[in-house]
Amino acid sequence: MSGTVLELQGLRVLDAHGEPLVHGLDLNLRRGETLGFVGESGSGKSLTLRAILDILPDGLTREGRVTRSPRTAMIFQEPSLALNPTMRIGAFVARSWQLHHPGDSAAQSRTRALALLEQVGIARAAERMAAWPHELSGGMRQRVMIAATLATEPELLLCDEPTTALDVLVQAQILALLRGLVAERGLALVFVSHDLAVVSELCERILVLRDGEEVERGVLAEVLAAPRQEYTRELLTANLARRMTEPAGGRG
Ligand SMILES: Nc1ncnc2c1ncn2[C@@H]1O[C@H](COP(=O)(O)OP(=O)(O)OP(=O)(O)O)[C@@H](O)[C@H]1O
Ligand SMILES: [Mg+2]
């Protein structure tokens, strides 16, 4: 069990009628391990992450065993929903720091917040501490969210499509940032995306989901080179087709 930051045993998510939406997932993740969850829309990726954190939508219930590090954090697709629109970004990150380091003074927390904003690549961070979330671009807001997340010193990071709303260039920058942080801090990562190319930027292993059920899992390079399941092959083809037909600017 040593080094394990996440263990799922028969994780199921049931709807209000007791129908399973996630059908029983087993998983063991250790520090430094990176796992991508891929699958089409509605395959149960987000519900699985929410079940891990115990933040399922009303009416849904979880069964099975979840053992996770108390230092688990999550980054969502849309940073605007997670940031507080009425707090300047410096105060937001400082508060996140102070909540997790109650012994630190307000001044110490602000110093830490500034260092974190610099670490996630916010230029002129000292000045930008006073900015409101709406004054920043989507990519910048996601960087602020990552800084606030790092303030909690997680050892397990759950990401739910954190770059889907961003244009391809910014997406690449955020992925590079996450890759660096994961390597530097030895974080364990579960990264959800419908985009295999994005997952392959960050994850060593993948788990393919369909309709709440596991299709296959393995080392990403091996699965991509030789998918064992027809569904994984279809997903690969669909991903390739989308990449080739998408305008160069990408989504968003
Ligand atoms: N609150 C809810 N009540 C009932 N069913 C739900 C609820 N939330 C999600 N579902 C259903 O659970 C299934 C899995 O949803 P989930 O959001 O996990 O999919 P996903 O893989 O994250 O998809 P996407 O790529 O679109 O984000 C879907 O069929 C969805 O309709
Ligand atoms: Mg989702």
The SS3 assignment for 111 reads helix
Q: Which of 40, 45, 196 to mutate to test the pocket of ligand 1 (most atoms within 8 A of CB)?
A: 45
| Residue of minimum CA distance from atom 2 in ligand 1 | 57
The parent domain of residue 117 ranges over: 78-153
132: Cβ contacts below 8 Å, ≥ 6 apart: 85, 88, 89
Mean pLDDT value of segment 80-105: 94
197: Cβ contacts below 8 Å, ≥ 6 apart: 239, 243
> Do 92 and 130 belong together in one domain?
yes
Nearest to 107 by CA among 91, 123, 125: 91
Q: Is the pLDDT of residue 210 over 60?
A: yes
Q: Is the pLDDT of residue 234 over 70?
A: yes
Decide if 145 is inside a domain: yes
Q: How far is the CA of 149 from the centre of ligand 1 (A)?
A: 24
Q: How far is the CA of 50 from the centre of ligand 1 (A)?
A: 11
- Is the Cβ atom of 39 under 6 angstroms away from ligand 1? yes
- Phi first, then psi: what are they for 62, rounded to 5°? -110, 140
Mean pLDDT value of segment 20-31: 97
Q: Residues 147-179: pLDDT tens digits?
A: 999 999 999 999 999 998 888 899 999 999 999
| Residue of minimum CA distance from atom 4 in ligand 1 | 15
- Is the Cβ atom of 182 under 6 angstroms away from ligand 1? no
Decide if 158 is inside a domain: no
State which of 153, 181, 201 marks the end of a domain. Answer: 153
> Do 100 and 60 belong together in one domain?
no
Structure-block tokens of residue 193: 């995306």
**CATH code of the domain containing 186:** 3.40.50.300
